[in-house]
Structure 1
């Protein structure tokens, strides 16, 4: 098999973790309309069923670091694939088994654990195995897969729901929506057995010969030997037998920078728009709830197109330029939305503002944060540091998701001068912080090996 084809296969298989991230997160949005009536859920209980997976995501990201060090990136992903599969089947248990809200929440949390483990290990695995000149593009496959996962699950739940009656959907249609995830999760599980282990994890465990074999499948022999030498030099910078002190000033600073960047991805307001954007579309274009399909297609299309743009520019322009360009675009988009809300003139400009924001996020903070998190941490601390950063991102996701409707419904927001625009100006403030953090603390990693990036922190 040619080296390029082999590398593409590895990226495609590991990026399936991203697809399942999007699929598992999105499937509940289609199924909840019907399972709410099936179980006769109260508003509070419905929120718990829908949001319970975030709890699993948080704890999954926390355990992903130690798990990745102990058994490696490949086997961590295999465990996540098993969790996705169990969650998909269990969430839609056949009618012959007694399904309860508690059981449903249990299996949704299992799926969240799978997302948490995969969201740390998949981009890190790709970064550790990809050549430096195309590493950025390959890690963005992960973000592309998330976007595709959202789009595919939307089409799947729409197809299932529209081919059954309302009564059938309430009785068992929502179960089939969960079971549809068994196809990608099963494929992910099987294909993972055919990918190699991460060469950097093998070197970390002292298995240099195995690491060299993997590197030679991707690079020419002389380049592979040189890269293995760099990896060993990086790992040997810490004296033999001395454990890494994660509480040392230098290491804490590196982890803090990565964690702040990871959390800022959520504080852009992306999930506020994705979760609660229907109201904006309804006011801007007169869409009703029956037009959710058109709204989601529009958002998904823009998201998908500009994720492709990021893929083909991240290794050409670099990580920091995309963050600057995307930040400016996100600010412009929210300014359009915020000002039209303030002036009580919601219309096409508001819609354009939302779409500019989505496009700018997809171009920058969406994929580039995953690229930077997967490559900015030194070899010795990468697993634990990325675990902390990803867990913090899920915590930030929860904070934004819970606080956004409260701010939206507040008296301050719904009176002059804000007139419903306050949350978007708060998000603009956070985006300005992104510009500062990027300028002051984030290294440009384009074209550098992971070991060369490590020298930046020295």
Structure 2
């Protein structure tokens, strides 16, 4: 097998973790109407069933760091694949088993654990195994896979439900929607046994010879592999100078803090407010009828997908920081179009363009680029723990946004002059301006640099 094909296979398999991230997050949206009827859920219980996976995501991200250090990136992803498979089957337990709301929540939390573990380990694994000149593009496969996962699950739940009556969907259709995730999750589990372990994790564990074998399979020139293993060993030896790593030392704490802030800011752009509550935004804020909402959601998903491709093919050409600047400007302009049109009570095409411009700009920048930066900005010695902290903080921020957005939307302040429904979007604009400042002041340009060269930036 050619080295390029081998490398692409590794990226594709590990990026399946991203697809399952999107799939598992999206499948509940397709199934929730029918399972709400089946269990006769109150609004509070429905919110708990839908949002319970976020608890698992947060816990999964926290345990992902120690797990990754102990058993490695590859086996951590295998465990996440097992979690995904258990969740997919258990969430739609056959009627012969005593299914309950508590059991459904339990399996949704199991799925969240899979997302949490995979969301940290998949991009880190790709970054640690990819050559520096294409590392950015390969890590963006992960974000692309998330977007594809959202799109695929939307189609899957639609085709499962469309040929069934409402009564059949309530009785068993929602179970089949959950079971559909078994296809990608089992594929992910099987294929992971055919990818190598991370060469940097192997070197951290003292398995230099095995690490070199993996690097030789990936690099076109054997000299590049030898040079890379020397850089990795030098980095590890400098870190292992007899002093135990103190995560609260000023140097280490600053690096983790910068990564964590950047990770949280990805959520404070408002992306998941738009994705989770897109139907409400289109119907209530933009004035579209119920019959138009489905078409608008498809358009939103399509724009998200297209501009993720754009990011994938430009991140190694233009660099990380330029994409963040361009994307931030686009997100601000998009939300300004939406916000001002709401303030003036003149919603319509301009408002829709604003939403789509925001989605396109996010997909071009903060969506994929944050995962790229998080996977490559931390030194070898602290990468697992630092990534774990940053990703857990991102899930916490996700929860804050998803819970606070409907509260702010429904507040009297937001629904009266001068805001007229636009307040949340101006709050998001303020956070996007913070992104510009943080990028300028604290984020290094990592394009074309090895992970060990990036590590030198902090010294």
**Partner residue in 2 for 1:447:** 448
For residues 429 and 237 of structure 2, the distance between their equivalents in structure 1, rounded to whole angstroms, comes to 43
Q: Does 1:101 align with 2:96?
A: no
Q: How far apart, in 2, do the equivalents of 1:240 and 1:72 lie?
A: 22
Equivalent residue number for residue 317 of structure 1? 318
User: Aligned partners of 2:410, 2:288: CA distance in 1, in Å?
Assistant: 21
Report the RMSD for the aligned CA atoms in angstroms: 0.9
> What aligned pairs does 1:14-413 form with structure 2 within 5 A after superposition?
14-219=14-219, 220-282=221-283, 287-413=288-414
Q: Distance in 1 between matches of 2:400 and 2:284?
A: 26
What are the superposed Cα offsets for residues 173-214 of structure 1, whole Å, 9 maximum, x if unpaired?
000000000000000000000000000000000000000000
Residues 265-297 of structure 1, C-alpha deviation per residue, up to 9 Å, x if partnerless? Answer: 000000111111223322577533344431221
Q: Is the 8 A contact 1:283 1:346 kept in 2?
A: no
- For residues 380-401 of structure 1, the C-alpha deviation after alignment (integer angstroms, 9 at most, x for no partner) is 0000000000000000000000
Report the 3-state secondary structure (helix = DSSP H, G, I; strand = E; otherwise coil) of the residue aligned with 2:131. Answer: coil
In structure 2, C-alpha distance between the alignment counterparts of 1:185 and 1:293, rounded to whole Å = 27
Measure, in 1, the Cα distance between the counterparts of 2:329 and 2:258.
21
Provide the residue aligned with 1:425 in structure 2: 426
Residue segments in structure 1 that go unaligned for 5+ positions in a row: none
SS in 2 for 1:296: helix
Task: Kindly indicate whether the alpha-carbon contact (under 8 Å) linking 2:287 and 2:348 is maintained by their aligned counterparts in 1.
Answer: no
CA distance in 2, matches of 1:56, 1:279: 26
CA distance 1:100–1:284, change in 2 (3 Å)? closer
Task: Give the whole-Å Cα distance in 2 for the aligned partners of 1:275 and 1:80.
Answer: 24
SS in 2 for 1:132: coil
- Tell me the number of residue pairs that the alignment of Structure 1 and Structure 2 aligns: 458
| Whole-angstrom CA distance in 2 between matches of 1:429 and 1:387 | 27
Q: Secondary structure at the match of 2:98?
A: coil
Contact persistence 1:284–1:351 (CA under 8 A): no
* Distance across 2 between alignment mates of 1:288 and 1:92: 32
1:405–1:194: structure 2 CA closer, same or farther, 3 Å change rule? same
Structure 1, residues 303-332: CA drift from partner, whole Å, max 9, x if none? 000000000000000000000000000000
The normalised TM-score by structure 2 is 0.99
Q: Distance in 2 between matches of 1:89 and 1:329?
A: 41
Whether 1:435 aligns to 2:440 is no
Local SS of the residue matching 1:189: helix
Question: SS of the residue aligned with 1:123?
Answer: helix
Task: Give, in whole Å, the separation in 2 of the partners of 1:400 and 1:266.
Answer: 7
Q: Is the 8 A contact 2:49 2:104 kept in 1?
A: yes
Measured in 1, the distance between the counterparts of 2:95 and 2:295 equals 33
Distance (Å, rounded) in 1 between the aligned partners of 2:433 and 2:292: 34
- Aligned residues of 1:92 and 1:176 also touching (Cα < 8 A): yes
**Pairwise CA distance, 1:240:** 4.3
Q: Distance in 2 between matches of 1:284 and 1:392?
A: 30
Gap regions ≥5 residues in structure 2:
none
